[in-house]
Structure 1
Amino acid sequence: MNNSFSHVVIPQPLKNIFIIRDTLANKISYYHLLLFLVSLPFDRFYSELVLISFSMHTLLHLRRLRFPFLPVRKLLLVLSLFLITLFTVLYTSENEEGLSKAGRQLALIIFPVMFVCTKLDLNKYKHQLFLAFSLTITLTVIYLYYDALHTIVYNKLLVATLFTPAFINQNFTAPIELHATYMAMYVCFSLLFMIYCALHSAIRVRKVLYLSAAVLLTGALVQLGSRSVLVAAIIGANCILPITISSVKRKIIYLSATITGSAIVVIGITTAPVLKSRYISGFRQDITANIAIPTIPEPRMARWESALHVINQHPLLGYGAGAEIPVLKQQYFKDGLYISYYNELNAHNQYLSMAVTSGYVGLAVFMLILLECFRLALKNRDVMFLSFLVIIAVASFSENILDLNKGIFFIAFFLSFFLLSDFSDNFKVVNELPGRATFERA
Structure 2
Amino acid sequence: MLVNILLKYYKIRSLFSISKDILNYNHTHNNYTSILDIHPSYYGLYLLLGFVILFYGNVKFHKMFKFFMISIFVSSLIFLNSRSVTFLFLLLTIIYSLNLLFSKTKSYILSALIFGSLFFVILCSFYFLLNRTYAFQRLVKESSWELSYEINSKYNSKGKGDSRLARWHAAIELIKKKPIVGYGVGKERSVLAEQYSKMQMYFASEKRYNSHNQYLGVILEGEWFLFYFFLFS
Residue from 211, 217, 220 that aligns with 1:347: 211
Match of 2:176 among 309, 312, 315: 312
Match of 2:11 in 1: 154
What's 2:64 paired with? 208
Question: How many Å separate the matches in 1 of 2:191 and 2:87?
Answer: 31
Q: Write the distance in 2 (CA, Å) between the matches of 1:171 and 1:352.
A: 29
- 1:16-415 alignment to 2 at 5 Å? 144-156=1-13, 159-160=18-19, 161-196=21-56, 201=60, 206-239=62-95, 248-249=103-104, 256=114, 260=118, 264-265=122-123, 267-269=125-127, 272-274=131-133, 275-291=135-151, 293=153, 295=155, 296-368=160-232
Deviation string 1:160-205 (CA, Å, 9 cap, x unpaired) is: 33211211211111111111111122212222322335x973x6xx
Structure 1 residues 289, 238: CA separation in 2 closer, same or farther (over 3 Å shift)?
A: same
Compare CA radii of gyration and give the structure with the larger one.
1
Task: Map Cα deviations across residues 373-396 of structure 1 (whole Å, 9 max, x no partner).
Answer: xxxxxxxxxxxxxxxxxxxxxxxx
Distance 1:324 1:269, change over 3 A: farther
CA distance in 2, matches of 1:278, 1:251: 39
Q: How does 1:424-435 map to 2 (within 5 A)?
A: none
Report Cα offsets for 1:322-343 as digits up to 9, x if no partner: 1111111111111111111222
Residue 186 to residue 262, structure 1, CA distance change in 2 (3 Å): farther
Structure 2 distance, partners of 1:277, 1:180, is: 17
Q: TM-score normalised to the size of structure 1?
A: 0.44
CA distance in 1, matches of 2:117, 2:33: 28
Letter in 2 for 1:272: N
Q: Contact between 1:320 and 1:357, CA under 8 Å: does it hold in 2?
A: yes
Give the length in aligned residue pairs.
Answer: 221
Tell me the distance in 1 between the aligned counterparts of 2:201 and 2:125: 34
The CA distance in 2 between the partners of 1:302 and 1:265, in whole Å, is 30
Kept in 2, the 8 Å contact 1:317–1:362? The answer is no
Give 1:207 shift: 2.4
**1:421-442 Cα shifts (integer Å, max 9, x gaps):** xxxxxxxxxxxxxxxxxxxxxx
What runs of 5+ residues in structure 2 fail to find an aligned partner? none
Measure the CA separation in 1 of the matches of 2:72 and 2:111: 18
Q: Which runs of 5+ in 1 are unaligned?
A: 1-143, 370-442
TM-score, length of structure 2 as denominator length: 0.79
- Partner amino acid for 1:235? L
- RMSD value over aligned CA atoms? 3.1
Q: Is the 8 A contact 2:152 2:201 kept in 1?
A: no
2:102 and 2:111 in contact (8 A); partners too: no
**Bigger relative contact order (CA 8 A; separation at least 6):** 1
